[in-house]
Structure 1
Amino acid sequence: MDADDEPIFLSGYLERRYRVHEASVGFISTQLHRAIGESLAYLNYAVWEFTAAFLAALTHPEFNATLSANPSSAVAAPHLPRRSAWPAFVPPNAGSRQEKNLQLLFRILAVAGSAMFAGVMLAIGAILGGYWKSLPPTEFLDWFAQYSDLIMRAIPLVIIPTLIGLAGALWYDWNEPATRVLWLASAACIAAVLSLTMAYFMPINAAFARKAITPDQVPAQLKSWLLLHNVRIALALVASMLGIAAISR
Structure 2
Amino acid sequence: MLFLVDISQLLTVALLGLLAGALWAEGELLVPYWKTLSSDEFYKLHPQYAPRLFKFFAPITALTPPVAVVAALLAWYNNAPTAWWSTGTALLAASLIAIYFVYFSQTNAAFAREAISADQLAGELNRWHNWHRLRVVICMLAFFLSIGAISQ
| Distance apart, 1:168 and its partner CA | 3.2
Instruction: Verify the 8 A CA contact 2:12 2:64 in the aligned structure 1.
Output: yes
Instruction: Output the CA distance in 2 between the equivalents of 1:228 and 1:160.
Output: 18
Q: TM-score, normalised by structure 1?
A: 0.56
Instruction: Verify the 8 A CA contact 1:103 1:172 in the aligned structure 2.
Output: yes
Which one has more relative contact order, counting CA pairs under 8 Å at least 6 apart?
2
Instruction: Output the CA distance in 1 between the equivalents of 2:69 and 2:131.
Output: 26
170-179 or 184-193: which moved more?
A: 170-179
Aligned counterpart, 1:139: 41
1:193 is paired with a residue whose SS is helix
| Distance apart, 1:106 and its partner CA | 1.0
Spell out, residue by residue over 1:133-164, the C-alpha distance to the aligned partner (whole angstroms, 9 max, x if none): 11112211221133212222212332344234
Instruction: Output the CA distance in 1 between the equivalents of 2:52 and 2:103.
Output: 18
TM alignment of 1:116-195, pairs within 5 A: 116-174=18-76, 175-176=78-79, 179-195=82-98
> For the aligned residues, what is the CA RMSD?
1.8
Match of 1:218 among 112, 116, 121: 121
TM alignment of 1:1-249, pairs within 5 A: 99-174=1-76, 175-176=78-79, 179-249=82-152
Instruction: Output the CA distance in 1 between the equivalents of 2:43 and 2:5.
Output: 45
Q: Percent identity?
A: 30
| Distance apart, 1:207 and its partner CA | 0.3
* Matching residue's letter, 1:218: L
Q: Higher strand proportion, which one?
A: 1
Q: Which sections of structure 1, spanning at least 5 residues, go unmatched?
A: 1-98
180-189 or 208-217: which moved more?
A: 180-189
Q: Which sections of structure 2, spanning at least 5 residues, go unmatched?
A: none
Spell out, residue by residue over 1:152-210, the C-alpha distance to the aligned partner (whole angstroms, 9 max, x if none): 22123323442343233223210537522211111111111111111211110110111
Q: Structure 1 residues 202 and 161, CA, compared in 2 at 3 Å: closer, same or farther? A: closer
Instruction: Verify the 8 A CA contact 1:106 1:169 in the aligned structure 2.
Output: yes
166-175 or 121-130: which moved more?
A: 166-175
Q: TM-score, normalised by structure 2?
A: 0.89
Q: May I ask how many residue pairs the two structures share in their alignment?
A: 151
1:222 is paired with a residue whose SS is helix
Instruction: Verify the 8 A CA contact 2:2 2:80 in the aligned structure 1.
Output: no
